[in-house]
Structure 1
Amino acid sequence: MAQQNAFGSLGTTGSGSVFAGNNFDTNGGSITFATPATDSDVDTRCLPAWRLTDPRDDRTRILASKDDLLAGSCDWILDEAAFAQWWKDDESRIFWIHGDPGKGKTMMMMALTEEIARRVGETLNPKAATAFFFCQNTVPELSNAAAIVRGLTFLLATEQPALQTHLARKYAEAGERLFEGVNVLPSLWTTLTNMAQDASVSRLYLLVDALDECEQDSLRMFLNLAISPAASRRIKWVFTSRNEQHITQRLRSRHNTSLELNTTHVSNAVSLFIRHKTLQLAKEKGYSRTVLQGVQQYLDDNAHGTFLWVALVCKALNDEEVYEWNMAEVMKLFPAELEPLYKRMLQQLRQVKMKEHVIFRERLLCAVTVACRPLTVDEVGYIANLPDRHAGNAQAIQNFVSSCGSFLTIRKKTIYFVHQSAKDYFTTGSGCMIFPCGQPQAHEQLARRLLDSMSQTLTTDILGVRWPGTQVHESVDGVVYQRLPLHVQYACCHWTDHVKAGGMTLEDGGVVHGFLQARLLMLFEALGWLGRVSDGIEAMRQLADMTEQTGQNLQILLQDALRLVRYSRKAIEQAPLQIYSSALIFAPKNSVVRQVFSQAIPRWMRQLPSVEQDWSACLQTLEGHSS
């Protein structure tokens, strides 16, 4: 009975249509074919669909989050023998810069993107093109190899319109499914190779920053493709990364520059950075020349060629409680090297009179550490399980994040770690002490809170549009955010990630099974409004794999849900309320989802179409190609 109340009823008047695979007349509305896409439609939709992220926007955002790139600080790399040979030799396809955290690799890549674009422009060769990509472990769209190739091909097609035909051809073959499944990277790589071989191209200069922040399995495949003798010789790569073994063993034989072996150049650049930061500090705080020189000397003695260490210490010295008279004493509290510095900063964070605030700060740090993407000010309080009086208070959240300023920063209401090494400190370093029961337990606790949040929020026709044919583009953003707050959106898109990371046992009758039996259709309706149906499909597939040994009935439900959503995917993506009508009414009679959610079929549908008993062999074959 509770299930019936949860579903309610959908309206049957108005101009809405129900999209499905067959024509079927009803007494309340019309079920019609969706119009087949033409070649021009594919061309129009292709580039926006290909755009997972725009690397140009990522570059601008990352650049804004860092200190200014000082003129001339990276010029030495251009005179390096390895770079010079890579640039001049047509057979030299890879140049790799590697070094420890905080050594300035990303800023060096920023300088190289400008320099190589300038050189290409000066050659007046319209057949040469450049593209770049900045990996970030904290952003899902920037942390896997498929995203790298997708971003590069998008940028190339944007800058060189003649190359868009390669994207359109691939998109016409597979549509959105091009970006799903185990063959995404090889498929996208083929597109990149075809672009490189296009008659309009003579050379592609492709730059990828922070390979170490890319998911390892896909990165191995990416590097194997890049170094393969069969790889296009028209592509010249520039990579940066930390000194990690799985990267080193593939790139050590290529032209490369080690920042640890170029300490003089790096130290000179860091010294220039120290002068710049301390002059800023002296100007803001009104320090005398003597104090300024003392700060510069301490930083020079302890920086050890690490830009990030200098930036963090200068930020701490700019605190309002640091004065000229206690500067020397405060300064000496900051040890050399990043790990001891982070440890000191965590100790300071815990040294406040109100223990409750220490708990809130650590909850925030825990949430930001385990989150699948950067969290916003509006959602982090709920995800971190802060008390209600703080969770929805943007100013309180900003104050708590600011008190964690040594580790976190806010840009456009989104919270980021100041550097990947800060996240590493809490993930694998001694900072993991903030997880008293370990990170898997933190993931499981978060997964349960997300399930609870969705159970309390998701309902049929959550936007209140009533008409089954209302399409996604007709929805109003304000209503979406009101009915699906950001923390609920996060839950819908990422709850399964935390179930998996938490190692939760998926069993018949368990919390996940119960949630899906009550809210599966509502979940996919919400994902439809959010444009994330493909993410839901992948999540269900992963859950089904996890239930092989523990939950037979749960696995049957998941597999049936996959078939139903894949079969009606286009309809759900266009008009999400179709999950209750066309998706259900055209499901086979023996469909588990149809049987569990039979009361969700709109009551105005008095005459239902004749359907098969079970899913067709054809659909199951298609299912195998989509996974």
Structure 2
Amino acid sequence: MKELVQIGQAKIATPSKLTKGVGDVAQFILSAKSMVDLAIENIPQAALPWAGVCVGLQILLNPAKATKANLAGITHVVSRMDWYCALTELLLKEDSIEISNETCGAVLRQLEEKVVALYKALLLYQMKSICSYYRHQGLVFLRGLVNCDDWDADLKNVKDAEETVQGDSDQYNRFHAKFALGQLIEDAKGMEGLLGDIYQTLREFASLQKEMQLDDIDRQCRWDLRVIDPKDDMKKIEIKKDKLVTQACKWIFDTDQYVAFTRWSEGQPNRGPCRLLKIKGFSGQGKTMLLIGIIRELESQQDLCTPGITYFFYQGTDATLNKATTALRSLIWMLLVEQPHLISHLRKKYTDSGPALFQDRNAFFALCEAFQRSAPVPYVFYGRCPDECDPTKPGREEFIQLMAISLTLTDKVKWLVSSRREVDVLAKLQVLDTDSLHISQNLVDLDTQIQAEHVDAYIDHKLTVLTGKRGYDKSVMAEVSKEVRGRGRYTFLWVSLAFKVLEACPGRYAVRRIRDMPSGLAAIYDHMMKRIENSMEIDPQDCKRVLVGATLAFRPLSLSELAILTGMPLDITATAVDLCDSFLITRDETVLLFHQSGKDYLQENFASRLQPAGAAQGHAEIGRRSIEAMSSVLKRNIYELDYDSELKDMSTPCLDPLAPISYACVFWADHLCCLNGQSPEYERALADDGAVHKGKHR
């Protein structure tokens, strides 16, 4: 269309100039009309012809005006046509407008109708102009004389259509912008909700990461806090000792003290508080096994209404298990295993200090603080035999003080303890201002009257084990029963030692052996030592070396470790342990002291029964043999590992070359320290050219 317009304009270029020239002449003459009118104003004869000339000039001016109006109009129309073609692509292109509202769609359709009307006006003007260009110009001139085409009116129609489109489009755009803004606000709200969800997710993720980090810290804290698992230790004690038959410990469940102790609910009439139960008795009366029976009973009754149970067994025969700090670490460890949230009372100090929190000289007091903060949790704590606790501070006194503080701090904690008669825990607690707890009413005293029936039940059980063995007929069994019941004096340990003698004794000599055994633990230990000294199977001194090693060692020893400390072959060491079965017992290749009372006897009679030079000489010999063993066994890369091996890939060989000297590697210096620097061997070993110095540089 634009090309046709251009060709048509070129075709009429000359006629247009002529028409414009005629128009210019007519316009020039008409411009002088006022002067002519003034000149002929008084000449009537000239006025009429002049009026006709003016009318004619006006008519001659019309074609020029029409041509001029057409040229101006077609220029406007063509330029606007290009503009609206480009604009319509954006204004009405559906791909660029998201029509999600029916009203918007209806308005857009109406706007489209207005744009179509505009296009019609624009095209009509152009087509009319093209037709005019291709007519005979004389005819065009004549049409111009009478103003037949009226180009101004046509241009006005175009401009009116433009104004309509512009006004409607502005209105539509305002409406659409408002709608789009509302939609944008809705989308923004949705995005805000989505961002909120993302933020919450990120917070939860950060919280989870923090919890995972705390879980790692808490897990490491429990690992570093752990010394032993008291549950496993209780199983070991049960295996080590003769397990009491049910009848031997069932009686305590019917005592008033136990019934009051296990009453968890408050508010019962005529019932005072009972938060401490103490079992008191002589050595060998079965306190430990009785308390294990109580713990088993309490564990079997645990439910949502009863407290948790945590416990620790002091063991004077093991230097690693007779410390107050070790006991407290174990009690707290069991508490955290069952109540993990309580680790919050320990976490900050552990984060600041690491494993040193449980190992330095103030570990007991730091743990006491955490223990007291967690005290409101309902729990039964059991401490076996505080009398076996090392008195070195912090020791027995500090542990009893902790018990007293926890009892006065909250009514949700109960303590179950046992001790020998010579250690009066109740008196110490009363001194520590716990009189209001009526603790004196919560004592179970294992006197002979209480024990008689239960020791008899234990004897009946042991007699059934002998039934059927060589020489143990009814008459022999009756004599053995009579002698044991008459001489046992209601002591489980004496009965256990007596039947241990009978295990390897034919029935023919059983009664004689029992009669040879004196009453009382001290006397029977003297009797057992005489048997060892009169042994003909191996040299009695070898048995005494084994007893020295087991008594002075800071922890239970394996057979191979004991052989190193005694300087004897492994087979001789094993035989000596068997001959000392009244003092020693072997469990899973580990040599254990049979009972604390046996260790007490050996320590009290060390010089007279084991080594005249005394315990210091025994420590010196153990220290010397430890250094010699380390010097002969230790070497660089003893496991022959690759130098690029990682720790996770390392494992202990089946035949571990370090196993026999593991005790020596850890405790050699402890034995030398027991000499207080008074032994020449001590000084020689630690000299610059001594065995210790040489061993360090192997």
**Same-fold status (TM-score > 0.5):** yes
Question: Is residue 211 of structure 1 aligned with residue 386 of structure 2?
Answer: yes
Residue 456 of structure 1 and its aligned partner are, at CA, apart by: 3.7
Distance (Å, rounded) in 2 between the aligned partners of 1:509 and 1:72: 53
Contact 1:211 1:241 in 2 (8 A): yes
Question: Is residue 405 of structure 1 aligned with residue 581 of structure 2?
Answer: yes
* Partner residue, 1:490: 663
Change (3 A) 1:349 1:261: closer
Change (3 A) 1:346 1:235: same
Distance (Å, rounded) in 2 between the aligned partners of 1:258 and 1:329: 39
Distance (Å, rounded) in 2 between the aligned partners of 1:508 and 1:338: 37
Q: Could you give the per-residue CA deviations for residues 167-188 of structure 1, whole angstroms, max 9, x where no partner exists?
A: 5444323211012222111111
Residue 118 of structure 1 and its aligned partner are, at CA, apart by: 3.1
Contact 1:263 1:305 in 2 (8 A): yes
Tell me the TM-score normalized by structure 1. Answer: 0.69
Contact 1:207 1:239 in 2 (8 A): yes
SS at match of 1:57: helix
Matched length? 470
| 1:237 counterpart letter in structure 2 | W
Residue 242 of structure 1 and its aligned partner are, at CA, apart by: 1.1
SS at match of 1:276: helix
SS at match of 1:138: coil
* Partner residue, 1:570: none
Contact 2:325 2:363 in 1 (8 A): yes
Question: Is residue 97 of structure 1 aligned with residue 279 of structure 2?
Answer: yes
| 2:310 counterpart letter in structure 1 | A
Residue 67 of structure 1 and its aligned partner are, at CA, apart by: 2.1
* Partner residue, 2:464: 279
Residue 140 of structure 1 and its aligned partner are, at CA, apart by: 3.0
SS at match of 2:312: strand
Question: Is residue 141 of structure 1 aligned with residue 320 of structure 2?
Answer: yes
| 2:660 counterpart letter in structure 1 | L
Contact 1:303 1:310 in 2 (8 A): yes
Question: Is residue 59 of structure 1 aligned with residue 219 of structure 2?
Answer: no
Contact 1:442 1:502 in 2 (8 A): no
Residue 301 of structure 1 and its aligned partner are, at CA, apart by: 0.9
* Partner residue, 1:117: 299
Distance (Å, rounded) in 1 between the aligned partners of 2:390 and 2:441: 22
* Partner residue, 2:420: 242
Distance (Å, rounded) in 2 between the aligned partners of 1:445 and 1:177: 33
SS at match of 1:42: helix
Distance (Å, rounded) in 1 between the aligned partners of 2:224 and 2:689: 29
Contact 1:220 1:246 in 2 (8 A): no
SS at match of 2:586: strand
1:348 to 531, 534, 544: 531
Contact 1:223 1:250 in 2 (8 A): yes
* Partner residue, 2:251: 76
Residue 107 of structure 1 and its aligned partner are, at CA, apart by: 0.9
* Partner residue, 1:183: 362
Distance (Å, rounded) in 1 between the aligned partners of 2:572 and 2:213: 52
Residue 366 of structure 1 and its aligned partner are, at CA, apart by: 0.7
SS at match of 2:374: helix
SS at match of 2:317: coil
SS at match of 1:287: coil
* Partner residue, 1:323: 506
Distance (Å, rounded) in 2 between the aligned partners of 1:432 and 1:223: 35
Distance (Å, rounded) in 2 between the aligned partners of 1:65 and 1:485: 22
Residue 58 of structure 1 and its aligned partner are, at CA, apart by: 0.4
Contact 2:686 2:693 in 1 (8 A): no
Change (3 A) 1:374 1:134: same
Question: Is residue 227 of structure 1 aligned with residue 423 of structure 2?
Answer: no
* Partner residue, 1:449: 625
Change (3 A) 1:507 1:291: closer
| Structure with the greater alpha carbon radius of gyration | 2
**1:344-493 maps to which residues of 2 (within 5 A)?**
344-353=527-536, 357-386=539-568, 390=569, 393=570, 395-429=571-605, 432-465=608-641, 467=643, 472-478=647-653, 481-482=656-657, 484-487=658-661, 489-493=662-666
Change (3 A) 1:213 1:515: farther
Change (3 A) 1:516 1:370: farther
| 1:410 counterpart letter in structure 2 | T
* Partner residue, 1:337: 520
Q: Which consecutive residues of structure 2, in runs of 5 or more, have no partner in the other structure? A: 1-211, 267-272
Moved more, 250-259 or 235-244: 250-259
Distance (Å, rounded) in 2 between the aligned partners of 1:156 and 1:196: 10
SS at match of 2:302: helix
Contact 2:546 2:566 in 1 (8 A): yes
Distance (Å, rounded) in 2 between the aligned partners of 1:505 and 1:491: 21
Residue 521 of structure 1 and its aligned partner are, at CA, apart by: 11
Residue 79 of structure 1 and its aligned partner are, at CA, apart by: 3.1
Change (3 A) 1:330 1:149: same
Contact 1:46 1:171 in 2 (8 A): yes
**1:463-612 maps to which residues of 2 (within 5 A)?**
463-465=639-641, 467=643, 472-478=647-653, 481-482=656-657, 484-487=658-661, 489-505=662-678, 510-514=683-687
Distance (Å, rounded) in 1 between the aligned partners of 2:373 and 2:618: 45
* Partner residue, 1:153: 332
Q: Could you give the per-residue CA deviations for residues 188-214 of structure 1, whole angstroms, max 9, x where no partner exists?
A: 1222223333xxx3x111111122221
Q: Could you give the per-residue CA deviations for residues 61-117 of structure 1, whole angstroms, max 9, x where no partner exists?
A: 111122232123223323333333344486443221111110010011111102222
* Partner residue, 1:25: none
Residue 522 of structure 1 and its aligned partner are, at CA, apart by: 7.6
Change (3 A) 1:340 1:510: closer
Residue 164 of structure 1 and its aligned partner are, at CA, apart by: 3.9
SS at match of 1:237: strand
Contact 1:99 1:242 in 2 (8 A): yes
Question: Is residue 309 of structure 1 aligned with residue 494 of structure 2?
Answer: yes
Distance (Å, rounded) in 1 between the aligned partners of 2:440 and 2:640: 59
| 1:504 counterpart letter in structure 2 | G
| 2:457 counterpart letter in structure 1 | L
Distance (Å, rounded) in 2 between the aligned partners of 1:367 and 1:105: 27
Distance (Å, rounded) in 2 between the aligned partners of 1:140 and 1:375: 12
Q: Could you give the per-residue CA deviations for residues 199-233 of structure 1, whole angstroms, max 9, x where no partner exists?
A: xx3x1111111222211231111111211375443
Distance (Å, rounded) in 1 between the aligned partners of 2:399 and 2:546: 34
Q: Could you give the per-residue CA deviations for residues 311-343 of structure 1, whole angstroms, max 9, x where no partner exists?
A: 110110121xx3333332222111111111111
Distance (Å, rounded) in 1 between the aligned partners of 2:563 and 2:234: 28
Tell me the TM-score normalized by structure 2. Answer: 0.62
Distance (Å, rounded) in 2 between the aligned partners of 1:267 and 1:509: 51
Contact 1:285 1:318 in 2 (8 A): no
Residue 258 of structure 1 and its aligned partner are, at CA, apart by: 6.0
Moved more, 59-68 or 337-346: 59-68
RCO (CA 8 Å, sep 6+): is it higher in 1 or 2? 1
Change (3 A) 1:98 1:273: same
| 1:434 counterpart letter in structure 2 | L
Contact 1:193 1:232 in 2 (8 A): no
Distance (Å, rounded) in 1 between the aligned partners of 2:649 and 2:515: 60
Distance (Å, rounded) in 2 between the aligned partners of 1:251 and 1:42: 37
| 1:311 counterpart letter in structure 2 | S
